[in-house]
Structure 1
Amino acid sequence: MIQNKFIISYFVIFLGLAHSTAQNKTSSNAIPASDRQQQIDQYWADRAAVQSHQTIPFAPLTLTYIRPASVWEEALPLGNGQIGAMVFGGVADERIQFNESTLWAGNTQNPNNPKGKTALPIIQNLIFEGKNKEAIELADSTLMGKPMHIKPYQSLGELWLDMPHLHVENYKRSLDLKTAVQQTSYQHKGVNYSRQYFISAPANTMVIHYTASKKKSLDLNFTWKRAQDFSCISDPKDPSQLILQGQIGQAETKQEKGLRFAAIAKVYLKGGQFSNKNGKIMITDADEITILVTAATNYPGLKHISYPAQQSNIDPLSTCRNTLKPFKNVDYPLLKRQHIQDYQHYFNRVNLSLDDPDQPNRSGISTDALISLTKEHQKIPSELITKFFQFGRYLLISSSRPGHMPANLQGMWAWQMDPPWNADFHTNINLQMNYWPAELANLSELHQPLFDLTTALIPFGERTAHTLYGAKGWVVHHLTDAWGYTAPADGVQGIWPMGSAWLAQHPWEHYTFTGDRQFLKEKAYPIMKGAANFIMDFMVKIPKNKPFANYWITNPSHSPENSFKLPNGEISSFTYGVTMDSQIIRDLLINCIEASTVLQVDETFRQQCQETLQKLIPTQISAKTGRIMEWIEDYEETEVNHRHTSHLFGLHPGSQISIANTPDLAEAAKKTLLSRGDHGTGWSLAWKINMWNRLHDGEHSYQLLYNLISDKTLPNLFDNHPPFQIDGNFGATAAIAEMLLQSQVRDKNNNYLIELLPALSKNMPSGSIEGLKARGGITVNIHWNNGSLQKAQLLPNRTGPLCISYAGKQIEIMGTQGKAVIITPQLFQNNN
């Protein structure tokens, strides 16, 4: 959002104005776009004149650039799940923007409108009678949350570092995805300078390390900055420490005070000297500089949020001091080794290698230039596909660690006080998409923060379910935050009570990949059962004068963020029984039935789920268009190319539509995707790639991946909605993996069908993938050449039958726990 008031300083220009187009709100006081961009460019411009003549070596897993970042979207992200940073790689002017994953404005509250329960049956009758406008007006006044909006996730602040190097040569900056280490290097007056940055999970600190090839060559000043609500002081207890501290809302007399926060930057020198005065550290004549940075808030943790809110006794500054206390001296090589070992524990599980002999050697080409080459040649360099896939895994490792917050709309990287859409947890696609690669891409533990958030939402969602709908179980609507907001928000489009049912898919998926029965019993099943109880209590039967009379449907209901034309020409989004709702509910109830059967519990509940399933509206095909119907009636669409493709939930991430089991629906889904088109927002393209994968159309999948990378990818490989939203990165990572391996379909014996190379494009003719996961607890390695399978290796974590598919043929082999099974094309020929 563009701020309503402006203080003319570079700092406020940065935080209040930069990339205002990334916002979904406007202001009448906006500075003209051309002047605003000039100010932004002036702010971010490094004072140093940079010459880049250095040859860039070929590095398939390194993001490399030949100039500093000039805007936030060019900076390189680092993170350990709690602390995040964006490093610009400036020379004379380096700016490191920090986030702490719990720094959310607001607090727990009870936003549920007490009028909801009484008004609900009236709203439902109005919708059944076709009086949509009246229903919307009543819903707006009785069902919407009070307040109707949540407070945002905020930037922690920036570390400003200045060096007197105004003319440099052989500049390069890079992010090594294999080690999660960012490096900037250059020459100044014949001296080689190197800067390395990483955020260590074991130490819970960011490590900044400056070196030079000549002694006494490092002079550096730095300070903390933030747009509001902060102070920067020299630590009176330790002259090597510079403190940022504050409290959200402290500058506003009328604003409710929020979380307290703190960060400490601690200096270690080899050679030279420093002073720490008036909130600024000045270093001269150093041989080597190491700065450790840590941060904390007094957020109580997901397990401890409650309403009414409890006073937190956490002292963020003490937390930071305690984190740094063990580091009386700094052993930089040891810190780096421990960081890399921890990071590679996750990253090294999967290796993707693509070989395209038709593509020239990419040595000497920066990452942003590779994106430009994609547009120029209308083909994605194989190296870039590999980078993009592994970058998504890197981002999940960096933003979603067990014990910390889940990845939000921007992962954990947001520079504003009021970022786009509050950088919230959007539950009508975006939050779920963040975790699509977690199981498949062998990062199962990183799914845990999502389950922690979901569990924390249950008591808040139970209150909303009871107050608004008079229903059992728990509900969340289209968004939530760190404080358990579960009421409808933002507008009547927020009256979408399906968020809990969709979230409940994720713990079940975790079970299907891992086979962890204890997790199923203790974590997954309570989430799933509570969501199903709400849905079955909330649904109503269709009246006798309507199609599908006596079938169970949701009311009110809408297909997320889309609208349609009523027969009288009125535009509406409110209706009953939209296709997506029925598909999500079917998915949830089927999973609940299987979970209760596995656990041998809740026979009565299981029977209720089975009976409800029999009266759910089936997915319909339009007689007029041959496409999947988005609504219960075949309304005229107002936006054929709408970014959401909600009515294909049953194709992806669900499994109700497949070529193998429902060919008619699969063909109708294909027509739907063709109608929606091959363009859209970044995350929308990622979703559609996954859908084309499920239809085994590798060429269409590749085309949309090309569109995503060439048109919706920023220079640092962040996904561009626009603005930046991280879900497109995660969705695309899952999509690249599902081009090569799928396992969502069941065979005739109800075993998961392991599909090898189901959507391989001719543009990815040869390569290998090692370490992917299939449902049923199976690790899969695949090698292919000239578009054909060479061999696959399956390593099951339990003994039982393995059903494998390749090129339309199936085989079944008995797998033994811990024993590799080798699959070759000949096995399929011999069995068919």
Structure 2
Amino acid sequence: MTELGKGRPPLKLWYEKWTAKWDEALPIGNGRLGGMIHGAPAQEKIQMNEDTIWYGGPKQANNPDAQSHLAEIRRMLMQGKQEEAEHLSRMALMSGPKYYSPYQPLGDLLVWFLHHQLPAEAYVRELDLETAVATVSYRIGTTSYRREYFSSAADQVMVVRVTCDHPGGLTCSANLMRRPFDGGSRAIAADTILMEGESGTDGIRFTCAVKAVAEEGFVRTIGDSLSVEGANAVTFLIAAESTFRSAKPEDACLARVEAAAAERYEQLKRSHIEEYAEKFNRVLLNISAETAEVQAKLPTDRRLELVKAGHEDNSLVELFFQYGRYLLISCSRPGSMAANLQGIWNDSYTPPWESKYTININTEMNYWPAESCGLAECHEPLFDLIERMRPHGRKTAQDLYGCEGFVAHHNTNIWGETRIEGMLISSSIWPLGAAWLSLHLWEHYRYSMDVTFLAEQAYPVMAEAAEFLLAYMVDDGQGHLVTGPSISPENKFVLPDGTRGNLCMGPAMDMQIVHTLFHACMEASHIIQADGTLRRRLEAAIKRLPDIRIGKHGQIMEWLEDYEEAEPGHRHISQLFALHPGEMIDKHQTPELAEAAKQTLQRRLANGGGHTGWSRAWIINFWARLGDGAAAYEHIRKLIAASTYPNLLDCHPPFQIDGNFGATAGIAEMLLQSHGGVIELLPALPKAAWQDGEIKGLRARGAFGINIRWRAGQLQEAQIRAGQTGTCRIRYEQQLFVQCEDGAAVAFTNNGAIVEFAAQAGQTYRVLLAEGSCD
């Protein structure tokens, strides 16, 4: 295959102006330490976050009256006493305190520059996705200045480097601030300042240290500021730590900045780029070879304006795809916290939805691109979060419902709390959070085929989530096992008498998740040859789960009854979990359900659906699963045009990072799908918009690595790298043949649109159109 990216402009976001707006600043991060770069010439502000700074501490706050009222609530729901059931549930099930505490900023690093009173000329602010280095360059008078910013996972420091081309021409000061909760900072050495703080009296305490290393000139402290005077260059080294990880955060910070100061700047930068680029460069996408160079000459905000005006920009789509991968690498690393609603980037002490982990879709969406887009290790912080949740989830299951296993509801936090959180019936009483999260471990196994991981990490979590559901579900009076009380997040239905309700028994999303988890547990137990008793219980329960149903509008029913929707254009489209990320609805295997899913989408969209960034991103994935590349592409364009800030972060509104991750996953899903035991090539290619292109480094379930090239909307060649020995099945709309990488023959069979062959671990195979199959 061709050398992807050869001769193409670099993947950069760039602008001709600095910004005072947070949602136009540029994000950097090393998984745990993040910064937003504003780039003002005279006074730079770097807004900083450390991933463990959450207000307050864990609470044991399950409602003690829940169990004694649970049966009554269920009885009311089954008798149609909607208002009474919700009224009682609000008192008997909700926890106290009602809400989890928020994720909060670390603070700001402010750098003030002397002799910057004149306007800056030739100004450029940029973020290079290939190096994870942000830069600002400009000229004042006859002196040129350049700043470089990166957050290094290799050295666990954030680095800010300032240079000028006039000898001795750099004089600046730097200080730390945490307004309005500014506890002050202090100088602890001639070149180092320290800020300490706490997030509530029972919360996390933290430290941030900044050390300045000047070239020529000198550094001293004046008050609580670092003063750099007459230098050619200065490097600021920033470290942060909290008591969540370290009993002595100050010592940890000082050790990091001292170790980094012992290295030359060039080595710090090289180590950072090498560590980062190994991950980023695993996947390359090219859908715009002829136009990319021209479009890349325009600033990113200008390109965004043109897309809003209706112009095509496939190069911006490429950038947007890779930006999602950049953000995941930058906010979710082994050893870091999982990516929350804002990744790690948050400038508010009272952020929207507390910047928590919302697990009725948003947290899960954050990790949709992890496996398929070559970043499996970025999934690990989510698995760590699930482990922190399990002890809390066991207690919540027992306290609230009298059940074994572990449960979580629609939100959690850094501590992994699982109680019913919030005040709103429409979102809070949803006990399927643990079940959905546990399927991420199953997906990690399906992509890696790592049986040890399955046996030791994935299956115990999955089985414990399934144990809860077996105990929690009840007979609906018609022989079906259903969940409840529960909701279809976060939608309302209308009863025949006009009453609006949220709380119900057996909503479609619940039953689809239950079905998916039970089947996954059964398959996993076969693979690891364990837990036959549980497997038999799951087999019996599956037979009693209600089927997916089609309603009066030809849609997938959202509830057990074909209720009218209070909001037909609601942002959540939860009843299509079975289409994506689930697999119960499949365009090949269940065409009638697939058509009903299409009708569901069209009905939502006709009534104003897709108006939030993450919802639009989910819609991209839905259309990809339905094989409609033109529709999926149209929603990519709408997401970029209507729900994206100038810095390409997702606009819910306000900022919420899941739309970035969901869109990246959706673009991958358009080019490759691997559910149902079959690898499908170019399943939703928008042939008119992306006529020619190639992608390298995608991953498929079954431990396969995939490269694909297409011309004039038709497959030209795919390369399949087998990570395990076993059967490989590939689907394409035309007949295929298979050969080894060196051209040697491979025995394969064609069964309709599927070609099948025995793959050997470590071998690469070429997949091409069979002779005579071209249009």
Q: 1:827 to 1:560 in 2, by over 3 A?
A: farther
State the SS of the aligned residue for 2:581: coil
Question: Residue 501 of structure 1 aligns with which residue?
Answer: 435
Cα deviation, residue 360, structure 1: 8.3
Output the amino acid matched with 1:542.
D
Pick aligned residue for 1:243 from 170, 186, 194: 194
Output the amino acid matched with 1:758.
P
Output the amino acid matched with 1:260.
R
Aligned-partner Cα distance in 1 for 2:293–2:238 = 42
Question: Residue 223 of structure 1 aligns with which residue?
Answer: 175
Q: 1:687 to 1:356 in 2, by over 3 A?
A: same
1:580 and 2:509 are equivalent in the alignment: yes
Pick aligned residue for 1:673 from 577, 601, 606: 601
Question: Residue 728 of structure 2 aligns with which residue?
Answer: 802
Cα deviation, residue 145, structure 1: 1.1
Cα deviation, residue 319, structure 1: 1.5
Cα deviation, residue 355, structure 1: 2.7
- TM-score, normalised to structure 2's length? 0.94
Pick aligned residue for 2:147 from 178, 195, 201: 195
Contact 1:666-1:695 within 8 A present in 2 as well: yes
Pick aligned residue for 1:823 from 752, 767, 771: 767
1:760 and 2:685 are equivalent in the alignment: yes
Aligned-partner Cα distance in 2 for 1:363–1:636 = 48
Cα deviation, residue 325, structure 1: 3.0
Question: Residue 437 of structure 1 aligns with which residue?
Answer: 369
**CA deviation profile, 1:42-77 (whole Å, cap 9, x unmatched):** xxxxxxxxxxxxxxx983411110000220000000
1:186 and 2:135 are equivalent in the alignment: no
Aligned-partner Cα distance in 1 for 2:429–2:39 = 44
**CA deviation profile, 1:162-209 (whole Å, cap 9, x unmatched):** 113132210001100000000000111122211000011011001111
Aligned-partner Cα distance in 1 for 2:292–2:124 = 24
Q: 1:60 to 1:696 in 2, by over 3 A?
A: farther
**CA deviation profile, 1:64-112 (whole Å, cap 9, x unmatched):** 1000022000000000111000011110011000000000112112110
Output the amino acid matched with 2:592.
D
How many pairs were matched up?
A: 743
1:526 and 2:460 are equivalent in the alignment: yes
Q: Residues 592-631 of structure 1 correspond to what in structure 2 (within 5 A)?
A: 592-622=521-551, 624-631=552-559
Q: Residues 312-327 of structure 1 correspond to what in structure 2 (within 5 A)?
A: 314-327=247-260
Output the amino acid matched with 2:179.
A
Output the amino acid matched with 2:684.
A
Cα deviation, residue 815, structure 1: 1.3
Pick aligned residue for 1:93 from 43, 65, 78: 43
Cα deviation, residue 359, structure 1: 8.0
Question: Residue 741 of structure 2 aligns with which residue?
Answer: none
Aligned-partner Cα distance in 2 for 1:583–1:328 = 54
Contact 2:156-2:256 within 8 A present in 1 as well: yes
State the SS of the aligned residue for 1:326: helix
Output the amino acid matched with 1:147.
P
Q: Report % sequence identity.
A: 42
Aligned-partner Cα distance in 2 for 1:287–1:356 = 40
Contact 2:291-2:315 within 8 A present in 1 as well: no
Question: Residue 739 of structure 1 aligns with which residue?
Answer: 670
Cα deviation, residue 382, structure 1: 1.3
Contact 1:356-1:382 within 8 A present in 2 as well: no
Gaps of 5+ in 1: 1-56, 250-255, 301-312, 544-548, 746-751
Q: 1:614 to 1:363 in 2, by over 3 A?
A: closer
Pick aligned residue for 2:264 from 327, 331, 340: 331
State the SS of the aligned residue for 2:770: helix
More deviation in 368-377 or 692-701?
Answer: 368-377
- TM-score, normalised to structure 1's length? 0.88
Contact 2:8-2:292 within 8 A present in 1 as well: no
1:650 and 2:600 are equivalent in the alignment: no
Output the amino acid matched with 2:698.
L
Contact 2:213-2:219 within 8 A present in 1 as well: no
Contact 2:167-2:231 within 8 A present in 1 as well: yes
Cα deviation, residue 284, structure 1: 1.6
State the SS of the aligned residue for 1:148: coil
Question: Residue 308 of structure 2 aligns with which residue?
Answer: 375
Pick aligned residue for 1:292 from 237, 250, 260: 237
State the SS of the aligned residue for 1:608: helix
Pick aligned residue for 1:396 from 320, 328, 338: 328
Pick aligned residue for 1:694 from 625, 632, 656: 625
**CA deviation profile, 1:360-404 (whole Å, cap 9, x unmatched):** 82242001111111122343x111011000000000000000011
**CA deviation profile, 1:687-720 (whole Å, cap 9, x unmatched):** 0110000000000001111110001000001000
1:541 and 2:469 are equivalent in the alignment: no
**CA deviation profile, 1:534-576 (whole Å, cap 9, x unmatched):** 0110000012xxxxx0110011121001001011110111111
**CA deviation profile, 1:574-599 (whole Å, cap 9, x unmatched):** 11111101100000000000000000
Question: Residue 546 of structure 1 aligns with which residue?
Answer: none
Aligned-partner Cα distance in 1 for 2:268–2:289 = 38
Aligned-partner Cα distance in 2 for 1:362–1:502 = 41
Aligned-partner Cα distance in 2 for 1:558–1:320 = 45
Q: Residues 349-428 of structure 1 correspond to what in structure 2 (within 5 A)?
A: 349-355=282-288, 357=290, 361-379=294-312, 381-428=313-360
Pick aligned residue for 1:707 from 633, 638, 653: 638
Question: Residue 481 of structure 2 aligns with which residue?
Answer: 552
More deviation in 221-230 or 393-402?
Answer: 221-230
Q: Residues 468-487 of structure 1 correspond to what in structure 2 (within 5 A)?
A: 468-487=400-419
1:685 and 2:616 are equivalent in the alignment: yes
Cα deviation, residue 229, structure 1: 3.6
Contact 2:187-2:223 within 8 A present in 1 as well: no
Output the amino acid matched with 2:756.
E
1:118 and 2:64 are equivalent in the alignment: no
Question: Residue 742 of structure 2 aligns with which residue?
Answer: none
State the SS of the aligned residue for 1:86: strand
Contact 1:628-1:647 within 8 A present in 2 as well: yes
Aligned-partner Cα distance in 1 for 2:62–2:580 = 32
State the SS of the aligned residue for 2:94: coil
Contact 2:338-2:382 within 8 A present in 1 as well: yes
Aligned-partner Cα distance in 2 for 1:59–1:331 = 29
Cα deviation, residue 733, structure 1: 0.3
Cα deviation, residue 231, structure 1: 3.0
Cα deviation, residue 281, structure 1: 1.5
Cα deviation, residue 753, structure 1: 0.6
Aligned-partner Cα distance in 1 for 2:495–2:391 = 38
Contact 2:195-2:207 within 8 A present in 1 as well: yes
Output the amino acid matched with 2:476.
I
Aligned-partner Cα distance in 1 for 2:504–2:771 = 51
**CA deviation profile, 1:627-684 (whole Å, cap 9, x unmatched):** 1000000001111110000000000000110111100000000000000106320000
Which 4+ residue blocks in structure 1 deviate beyond 6 angstroms? Answer: none
Output the amino acid matched with 2:184.
C
Aligned-partner Cα distance in 2 for 1:702–1:482 = 36
Cα deviation, residue 827, structure 1: 6.7
Question: Residue 162 of structure 1 aligns with which residue?
Answer: 112
Gaps of 5+ in 2: 1-6, 735-752
**CA deviation profile, 1:118-150 (whole Å, cap 9, x unmatched):** 110010000000001111111111111111101
Aligned-partner Cα distance in 2 for 1:375–1:294 = 40
Contact 1:223-1:232 within 8 A present in 2 as well: no
State the SS of the aligned residue for 1:437: helix
State the SS of the aligned residue for 1:195: strand
Aligned-partner Cα distance in 2 for 1:542–1:462 = 25
Q: 1:517 to 1:676 in 2, by over 3 A?
A: same
Output the amino acid matched with 1:625.
H
Q: Residues 751-790 of structure 1 correspond to what in structure 2 (within 5 A)?
A: 752-761=677-686, 762-790=688-716
Question: Residue 747 of structure 2 aligns with which residue?
Answer: none
Aligned-partner Cα distance in 2 for 1:577–1:807 = 38
Question: Residue 737 of structure 2 aligns with which residue?
Answer: none
Output the amino acid matched with 1:434.
N
